[in-house]
Structure 1
């Protein structure tokens, strides 16, 4: 494996773990491609990606193209003379990039392909109430997430999992699978298998309107949506209280509590520890929340400084 020259491509924390595992196994990383620095925070200060920070710490050569078809970038990439490219949580590559190395370019995807092709497979698997997911490595080709599969491993989705906890578990499982895949390619023992042509459940990018809670849906559906969007980007709703302005509230954690006879969106609170919200067929106990402009807190913490007036409701 040490004789295999590798270019690694990735941007967020999810990708850092794979790069770390490869380096710990003495993989020969000749370059790292990541996103350009971007303005972040209130001061809009230029901020490097987690992959760049890690690669810089390890003394690796770093490329940050704004345009993946830029002739200068392609020249720099080719000069690295990589045998293989490994992609983890990066953007879509043009053929001029993924077809460059002689041993190809493979990607790590956080689902059991062909299920959940797209940008947000971890979120959508939980939102849809799946009981298992996993990770897949596959060779890139023209259509996104459709290339020949190299390896797959399953991961159970536990009832208490949210998008954050599942992300972390798949990050570690995926890193191990990336290393397994690189070793198999180096040893010429891979046996790529074409993906099924069936259309699996999609995992498109999530936008703000996708995160709004519809309290007229089933209790299980609302509960899964909240945990599938927690901690980021977070499910949200609008709190309407008598004689008060409508406020946006993010909800991070709920428990199914059976039925207390609340109508969809109707709220009950004891004023100290409990906030219940009605759905189509049962109530949810809200455990963690955040009002716009305030910090995330437990329901008990929230109720120490805030009241839920009688007659309040969540809007759908």
Structure 2
């Protein structure tokens, strides 16, 4: 039985780990994930989804703040693993660790060489791509630059956002890994090099990218909103206070960018640099996330056509 070390952190990774465990073909001898973090307003310490799966299966868990040079890495190198599987782990793997096993492969949520980096799903949505996918690749020192073992794609629908695509791509990545891994280990599936000249990058989202610029087109703003839902969430300002927008829809309309051009009991439509945006799910400052109907029946009653969002 092939001995594996699995490394990952979010739900995407947990889905891949569960697939390996359910297959009963591989011996997961250790799981490495990010340290527990304080989350939410109450700053409650929360385990990663991968840690939850690992503990449910009585697997040893390692959580180094930084893998390179850590005592955890030194111990991992003594376990006798045949290979390492990573999926959205969140740290670079040192060359010493990669060289200590027969193979190390990663499940990456893009069609490489497009969108190397930590936020490929966000960028695929924000850029309005019509498809995305998963690549199984060999790990090398350079970020997401290894030879490709397998690829699979799926269409991006208008109703998709980061959350829905994470779920779809996690299943796609799990199945593609389980399909391709046996042949790769046996040596009958040879990895193919990427065309590095075609590489594009998707670095982690920066706070300034979350802010909506109403001068942009309605379609571009629609893509930005869904490309940040459910995290980190796009925002604008209303009366000088941050106003988050979780869901919106590009519609026809004309007016000054950021100006409310339609208000009813069920609709709030804001003009953009081209077209308009109908807000669907929002979160005013200091309030919970809510459907636009609830906002209009409560906190948004005082808004009028002609009022504006923005700085």
TM value normalised by structure 1: 0.93
Q: SS where residue 77 of structure 2 aligns?
A: helix
- Quick one: distance in 1 between partners of 2:37 and 2:280? 34
How far apart are 1:197 and its partner, in Å? 1.5
> In structure 2, how many angstroms separate the alpha carbons of the residues matched to 1:75 and 1:248?
46
The residue correspondences of 1:206-225 to structure 2 (distance < 5 A) are 206-225=205-224
Q: Match for residue 263 of structure 1?
A: 256
Moved more, 132-141 or 196-205: 196-205
Structure-2 residue corresponding to 1:124: 123
Aligned residue number for residue 112 of structure 2:
113
Q: Equivalent residue for 1:287?
A: 280
Q: CA deviation at 1:310?
A: 4.3
The change in CA–CA distance for 1:231 and 1:45 in structure 2 (over 3 A counts) is closer
Report the count of equivalent residues: 307
Query: 5 Å matches for 1:52-71?
Result: 52-70=51-69
Whole-angstrom CA distance in 1 between matches of 2:71 and 2:251 = 59
Instruction: For residues 160-193 of structure 1, give each alpha carbon's deviation from its aligned partner in whole angstroms, at most 9, with x where no partner exists.
Output: 1111111110011111122123222333222110
Deviation per residue, 1:94-132 (Å, 9 max, x gap): 111222202x10001100000011110001001000000
Matched, 1:250 2:226: no
1:277 matched to 2:270? The reply is yes
Equivalent-residue separation in structure 1 for 2:305 and 2:73 (angstroms): 63
How far apart, CA to CA, are the structure 2 residues paired with 1:225 and 1:201? 18
CA–CA separation in structure 2 for the residues paired with 1:262 and 1:56: 55
User: 2:149, 2:184 within 8 Å by CA — same for their partners in 1?
Assistant: no
Secondary structure of residue in 1 paired with 2:209: helix
The runs of 5 or more residues in structure 1 that have no matched partner are 241-245
1:13 corresponds, among 8, 11, 14, to 11
TM-score where L is the length of structure 2: 0.94
Report the Cα offset of residue 14 of structure 1: 0.9
- Given that 1:239 and 1:312 are in contact with CA atoms closer than 8 Å, whether structure 2 keeps it comes out as no
* Correspondences of 1:127-166 after superposition (within 5 Å): 127-166=126-165
| Coordinate RMSD, CA, aligned | 1.5
Which residue does 1:99 correspond to in 2? 99
Deviation of 1:154 (Å): 0.7
Shift of the alpha carbon at 1:63?
1.5
8 Å contact kept, 1:264–1:277: yes
| Deviation of 1:151 (Å) | 0.4
What SS does the corresponding residue of 2:188 show, helix, strand or coil? coil
**Cα displacement (A) at 1:279:** 0.7
C-alpha separation between the residues in 2 aligned to 1:43 and 1:256? Answer: 35
Match of 1:39 in 2: 38
Distance 1:113 1:89 in 2: 15
Please name the residue that 1:22 is paired with. Answer: 20
For structure 2, list consecutive stretches of 5 or more residues without a partner in the other structure.
none
